[in-house]
C-alpha cells in the first residue's frame, strides 16, 4: 500500500518524529509505521484507532505479540495506558468536536514535554486546528503544508485540561418522539446525527414493516436510534447493532441503557463479523469514509446481506434518492419496493427470494 498524503507530510518532517514511545491516533495502515521504525527505531509504538477497519489492518500487519516493531494496537472509544508518551500524532478528525474529545482521553498519558502533531487534509478542516485547541495546547502552529495537507505541532498544557476523564461528560443527550414513542439518545462527538434526529432516519422509522419479530440487525447503527425505536415498538424484536466506529458503538450501548433496552452491539467492517442470520435488517447505510464520499461499503453490504437473512427475511433501508441502490437489491436480495420518496430520501424494502 502506498503512503497516504498525510503520512508523506509526516515523514518529510522527520525531525519532529523522534520519540521513544509514540502514540499514533487514527492513523491508517499505509506503510507509515514501518517507515517510521526504520528511521527512528522507537522502543515501542502504540496505535489507538476508533475505526475498526484501520484497527484490523494494523492488527493484520503488526498484530503478533512477538512483532518485531513492538506495535501495540487498541480499538476502543477511550484510551487507557500506564505509559507516558513523548509524542502523539493525531489524524485530524472529520468532526471538529472529536478533536478536543481525543485530547481529553489522552490527558492522563502525556505531559508538558509531549509533542502533539496534528495532520490532515485541508478539505477536512485542519486549518482551524490552532483555534480549536487554543484552550488545551500551547504554541500550536502550522509547520508544513504540502500534498493538499497541513501539519501542526503543539505542546500540552496540563493545567488547562483535567487528567481525570469522565466519559459521561462527553455524551450529548437529546429526546425525540416518533409515532408517540419517546426515546432518549446519547451520542459522543463524531457520531452521525449527534444532536438531533436526522431527516433520513426519521423517514425510515415511519416506514418500517408493520410487524417485526425475531432477530433484527441494525447495520451502521450510529447512536442506536433505529434499534431503540424498534425495541420500544416491537417487544418481540431481538436487537443486534453493528458499526465500524467505536464511538458509535459506545453511544449505542448508552442509548440502549437509557431506554431500558438490551442488544448485541459489536464492530464490523461491513459484514466481516456478522455471524448470525436475521429476520429483519434495517439501516440508514453510511456512505462516507472520513471526509470522502465512499459508496463501496454500502454497495458491498447490499450485495452480501442475502447470505445473512433467514428464509423470507427482509431488509428496509433509507438512502439519498440519487443513490442507485434498487438495482443492487433486486439483483442480490429479491423483489425490491420503493415504499416512499420524500425530502430527497427514498425508502426501499426487499424480500429475500427463495434460496
Q: How far is the C-alpha of 343 from the C-alpha of 268, rounded, in Å? A: 30
Q: How far is the C-alpha of 116 from the C-alpha of 153, rounded, in Å? A: 6
| pLDDT-based confidence at residue 157 (cuts at 50, 70, 90) | confident
Strands 214-219 and 292-293, by their bridges, are unpaired
Residue 241 forms beta bridges with which residues?
A: 218, 265
**CA-closest candidate to residue 248, choices 181, 301, 332, 189:** 189
Buried b / exposed e along 145-159 (16+ C-beta atoms within 10 A): eebebbbbbbebeee
Asked if 33 contacts 95 with a C-beta cutoff of 8 angstroms, the reply is: no
- Answer whether residue 66 shows pLDDT above 90: no
* Residues of each domain in the chain carrying CATH 3.40.50.150: 5-166, 171-351
CATH number of 5-166: 3.40.50.150
pTM, to two decimals? 0.94
Beta-carbon-side half-sphere exposure of residue 214 (alpha carbons within 13 Å)? 14
Specify the pLDDT at position 63. 77
Specify the pLDDT at position 290. 45
* Burial of residue 68, with CB atoms counted within 10 A of its CB: 0-12 exposed, 13-18 middle, 19 or more buried: exposed
Q: How far is the C-alpha of 43 from the C-alpha of 72, rounded, in Å? A: 11
Q: What are the tens digits of pLDDT across the range 276-314?
A: 999 999 999 876 444 444 577 788 899 999 999 999 899
Q: What are the tens digits of pLDDT across the range 241-279?
A: 999 999 999 999 999 999 999 999 999 999 999 999 999
Mean pLDDT within 72-90? 96
- Answer whether residue 217 shows pLDDT above 60: yes
Q: How far is the C-alpha of 276 from the C-alpha of 236, rounded, in Å? A: 18
Buried b / exposed e along 314-336 (16+ C-beta atoms within 10 A): bbbbbbeeebebbebbeebbbeb
Would you state the CATH architecture of domain 171-351?
3-Layer(aba) Sandwich (3.40)
Arithmetic mean of pLDDT over the chain: 92
Contact residues for 119 (Cβ-Cβ < 8 A; gap 6+)? 6, 9, 10, 89, 90, 91, 92, 126, 149, 150, 151, 152
The SS3 of residue 25 is strand
Amino acid at each position: 500500500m502506498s503512503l497516504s498524503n498525510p503520512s508523506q507530510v509526516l515523514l518529510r518532517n522527520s525531525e519532529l518524529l523522534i520519540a521513544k514511545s509514540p502514540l499514533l491516533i487514527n492513523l491508517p495502515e499505509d506503510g507509515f509505521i514501518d517507515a517510521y521504525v526504520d528511521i527512528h527505531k522507537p522502543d515501542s509504538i502504540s496505535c489507538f484507532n476508533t475505526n475498526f477497519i484501520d484497527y484490523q489492518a494494523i492488527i493484520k500487519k503488526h498484530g503478533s505479540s512477538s512483532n518485531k516493531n513492538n506495535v501495540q494496537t487498541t480499538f476502543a472509544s477511550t484510551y487507557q495506558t500506564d505509559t507516558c508518551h513523548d509524542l502523539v500524532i493525531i489524524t485530524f478528525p472529520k468532526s471538529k468536536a472529536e478533536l478536543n474529545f481525543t485530547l481529553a482521553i489522552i490527558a492522563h498519558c502525556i505531559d508538558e514535554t509531549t509533542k502533539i502533531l496534528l495532520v490532515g487534509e485541508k478539505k477536512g478542516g485542519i486549518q482551524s486546528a490552532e483555534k480549536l485547541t487554543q484552550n488545551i495546547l500551547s504554541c500550536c502552529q502550522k509547520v508544513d503544508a504540502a500534498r493538499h495537507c497541513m501539519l501542526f505541532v503543539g505542546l500540552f498544557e496540563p493545567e488547562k485540561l483535567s487528567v481525570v476523564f469522565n466519559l459521561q461528560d462527553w455524551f450529548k443527550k437529546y429526546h425525540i418522539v416518533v409515532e408517540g414513542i419517546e426515546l432518549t439518545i446519547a451520542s459522543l462527538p463524531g457520531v452521525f446525527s449527534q444532536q438531533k434526529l436526522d431527516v433520513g432516519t426519521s423517514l425510515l422509522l415511519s416506514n418500517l414493516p408493520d410487524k417485526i419479530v425475531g432477530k433484527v440487525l441494525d447495520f451502521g447503527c450510529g447512536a442506536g436510534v433505529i434499534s431503540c425505536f424498534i425495541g420500544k415498538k416491537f417487544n418481540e424484536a431481538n436487537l443486534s447493532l453493528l458499526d465500524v466506529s467505536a464511538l458509535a458503538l459506545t453511544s449505542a450501548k448508552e442509548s440502549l441503557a437509557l431506554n431500558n433496552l438490551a442488544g448485541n452491539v459489536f464492530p464490523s467492517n461491513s459484514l466481516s463479523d456478522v455471524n448470525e442470520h436475521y429476520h429483519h435488517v434495517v439501516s440508514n447505510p453510511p456512505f462516507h469514509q472520513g471526509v470522502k464520499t465512499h459508496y463501496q461499503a454500502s454497495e458491498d453490504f447490499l450485495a452480501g446481506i442475502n447470505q445473512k437473512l433467514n428464509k423470507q427475511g427482509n431488509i428496509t433501508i433509507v438512502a439519498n434518492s440519487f443513490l442507485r441502490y434498487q438495482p443492487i437489491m433486486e439483483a442480490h436480495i429479491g423483489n425490491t419496493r420503493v415504499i416512499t420518496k420524500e425530502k430527497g430520501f427514498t425508502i426501499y424494502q426487499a424480500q429475500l427470494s427463495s434460496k
